[in-house]
Structure 1
Amino acid sequence: MESEGSDGRVGDDEQTDRYRHLIEHVQDAVVEFELVDQEPIVVSVNRSFVDVFGYDADAIRGQPLNEWVVPDWKIAEARGLDANTSSGEINYQEVTRETANGLREFLYRGIPYEDGVGSGGFAVYTDLTEIARNERRLKVLNRILRHNLRNNANIVAGHTTRLLAEFDEPDAATIESAATVERAARELERLAEEAGHIRRILQRTTDETVDIDVGTVVRTVVDEHRRRSPNAVIDVTVDDGETVLADDRLRYAIDGLVDNAIEHNPSEAPRVHVRLDDPTDEPDATAAEWAVLHVEDDGPRIPLNERDVIQDDEAISPTYHGSGLGLWLTELTVEAFGGELSFGVSDDLGGNDVSIRLRRP
């Protein structure tokens, strides 16, 4: 083994030992191979490869890698990736590969190298199987639940109206029962809609946020709620031209808070105030970097356990999970933009003060 040279650089053998130590303890499955006529021949594998693929290191060493891990119907795909590696190109692709226990899904990275003797490379496999399966399950559940919730809610609401029409003079108890059923049906419809919004939040990346005019988004949301809840008194204090880094999904977060402030307020005329912090009220550095949007109301406080669940201070359980999806929708939206959701008490209205902190452009 070469020692450290006079110039302070580590010798080749020591570098190799360190590299081997690193590869051996990487949690991803790693294969080192040499290319023979564009065919990857296994030189070595790390422990994770043995654990994930289930093949003994001695058995696979010196063997064509594709014969062990590539299903027959994926050979053409694998050869294309090998050709890229042979030409010096780094590959990134999601692939299906064969293990001793069946097929699994991986993020494959093929990294070529030239060592002066021949060409070879590394195949790095990150196991995505459970993530991919969970995504598919959630997608199926989302489609089924949203479809069934919406359809059954419409059926319940329609039949309730029809049943009431059968009574010549329904008594107060009958009317109240029908109204309760109809409210529950509308709540199911709203849950289905919010579930769809959450899915859109989780599916889209936030790598390319843009400058969004907060005032425009707030007024669009508030106008919609004024039409839906004409008895509510909703004030807006947001200047034009105030922008944050987000995208069009920001309306979901604001809509969730305004909706929550109205729907959970027993008052016949709920009061809501949507305002943006005056930058002069905060330290210069904070005001320059962050905008804080408040949605205040005069309703009862959001229960502590619901606030704790949203902010990860309380585990989600059958008892503590939140009364709806509105706050979850807001939290997930704000989180997607690298912001923060917080809960307080409104000094002006006496109810909740739920604030969204987002980065300025």
Structure 2
Amino acid sequence: MDVDDRHEKRGVREDAYTLSSGRGTVRFRHLLEHIQDAVVEFELVGGEPIVRGFNASFVETFGYDEEAVLGGSLNDLIVPSWLTEEATELDGRTDAGMVNYRVVRRQTADSLREFLYRGIPSADDDPFGFAIYTDLTDTRRKERRLEVLNRLLRHNLRNQVNVIAGYVELLEEQHENQHTMELLACLAEAAENLNGLTQEAGAIDRALSEPLPEEPRVDCVAMLERLVDRSREEFPHAVIRTQTPSGVHVAATERLEAVLAQLVENAILHNPAAEPRVWLEVHRVAGGDWVDVVVADDGPKIPVMEHETVTGDSPITATSHGAGLGLWLVRWTVQRFGGVLSFGTSDAGGNRVQLRLRRADGGS
């Protein structure tokens, strides 16, 4: 059965998918038959959406027989009884020629699921319209679970770390045995590391949940200059040099400074040299649309498996997930700005971490 025959069998009006040419009509029908989103065409009869056509994904997603769908009420088929008022409101908007865009709950043959619903009225001022459903159920459930785990774990970890640190302090006051003191020092370090993880998790949560402005714009050169001044005060034993042009604006927010500070701090703290060296650079990429912000050092290399896991070049496994959250914070923040994170080797044999960011419109 070809596309046209299958289209006719499902009762879709011949002019429903008409484009600028007959061949375009066939291509459009072919697209609707193979697109993963569920698409249904309906006619508003007395305010009720009556199904006049649908694609294969609609049947697969909702699980109803074709015979039960065609010619029946779409609302009776997929709208739970307690959401009838919401569906009626959406149908009224469609009848008034307005496009609908909303997350809704709809019933399939075996369960209640969440969808991104797009309701599109006919352009011909007739009572027909299209409904497009993208299944969000699994994605939204995962998001909620992660949010709960993130908040609960951070809260409980922080509380337990405070308890551990308090008992360590008490024990240190009561014991003078050298071996015991060494064990307590290890315990205190572990508690501090746990506390650091909760702080990093909080930073990630803030970075990913904070809304971005419509046109983010920040002077990355001025940002680096502030960061260098602060880092030289905090780490006076380190040598920090810069190589930057005059003001360069990238499509980012002030969150970029926290990411760069994380990289600089890692480069210094993980370098056992008496005088660790760090280079901060800004380069305009040929073509003018992108800018590279680079943090390079002469310290020990980040393990290949660790940075490949963070960049997505290697899968996350039980033994390969990164040593901490710092590099994940860098990656997700850069991605949020529409940029790319990459790792390489510096001229001094250490790490070269590159943040490629879009140049801000109208910026230097």
Please, what TM-score do these two structures have when normalized by structure 2?
A: 0.84
Secondary structure in structure 2 of the residue aligned to 1:208: coil
Instruction: Name the CA distance, whole Å, in 2 between partners of 1:295 and 1:16.
Output: 53
Relative distance call for 1:178 and 1:223 in structure 2 (3 A) is: farther
Instruction: Name the CA distance, whole Å, in 1 between partners of 2:308 and 2:41.
Output: 48
- The one-letter code sitting in structure 2 at the alignment partner of 1:10 is S
What does 1:130-169 align with in structure 2 at a 5 Å threshold? Answer: 130-167=138-175, 169=176
Aligned equivalent of 2:15: none
C-alpha deviation, 1:265, in angstroms: 2.6
- The one-letter code sitting in structure 2 at the alignment partner of 1:360 is R
- The one-letter code sitting in structure 2 at the alignment partner of 1:200 is R
Instruction: Name the CA distance, whole Å, in 2 between partners of 1:18 and 1:356.
Output: 41
Aligned equivalent of 1:360: 359
Gaps of 5+ in 1: 2-8
What is the percent sequence identity of the aligned residues?
Answer: 48
Aligned equivalent of 1:177: 183
2:55 corresponds, among 31, 46, 55, to: 46
Contact 1:213 1:240 in 2 (8 A): no
1:244 corresponds, among 238, 245, 250, to: 250
Instruction: Name the CA distance, whole Å, in 2 between partners of 1:249 and 1:211.
Output: 11
Secondary structure in structure 1 of the residue aligned to 2:122: strand
What does 1:30-69 align with in structure 2 at a 5 Å threshold? Answer: 30-69=39-78
Relative distance call for 1:320 and 1:74 in structure 2 (3 A) is: same
Secondary structure in structure 1 of the residue aligned to 2:271: coil
CA RMSD of aligned residues (A): 2.6
Contact 2:272 2:299 in 1 (8 A): yes
Instruction: Name the CA distance, whole Å, in 2 between partners of 1:222 and 1:40.
Output: 63
Aligned equivalent of 2:259: 253
Aligned equivalent of 1:187: 193
Gaps of 5+ in 2: 5-19
Relative distance call for 1:224 and 1:141 in structure 2 (3 A) is: farther
Instruction: Name the CA distance, whole Å, in 2 between partners of 1:16 and 1:244.
Output: 43
Contact 2:39 2:131 in 1 (8 A): yes
Aligned equivalent of 1:10: 21
Instruction: Name the CA distance, whole Å, in 1 between partners of 2:38 and 2:136.
Output: 12
C-alpha deviation, 1:202, in angstroms: 3.3
Aligned length: 341
Instruction: Name the CA distance, whole Å, in 1 between partners of 2:170 and 2:39.
Output: 65
Aligned equivalent of 1:28: 37
Relative distance call for 1:226 and 1:194 in structure 2 (3 A) is: farther
Instruction: Name the CA distance, whole Å, in 2 between partners of 1:260 and 1:181.
Output: 22
- The one-letter code sitting in structure 1 at the alignment partner of 2:21 is V
Contact 1:270 1:299 in 2 (8 A): no
Instruction: Name the CA distance, whole Å, in 1 between partners of 2:238 and 2:50.
Output: 72
Please, what TM-score do these two structures have when normalized by structure 1?
A: 0.85
C-alpha deviation, 1:207, in angstroms: 6.7
- Greater Cα shift, 235-244 or 135-144: 235-244
> Is 2:301 aligned against 1:301?
yes
Contact 1:43 1:61 in 2 (8 A): yes
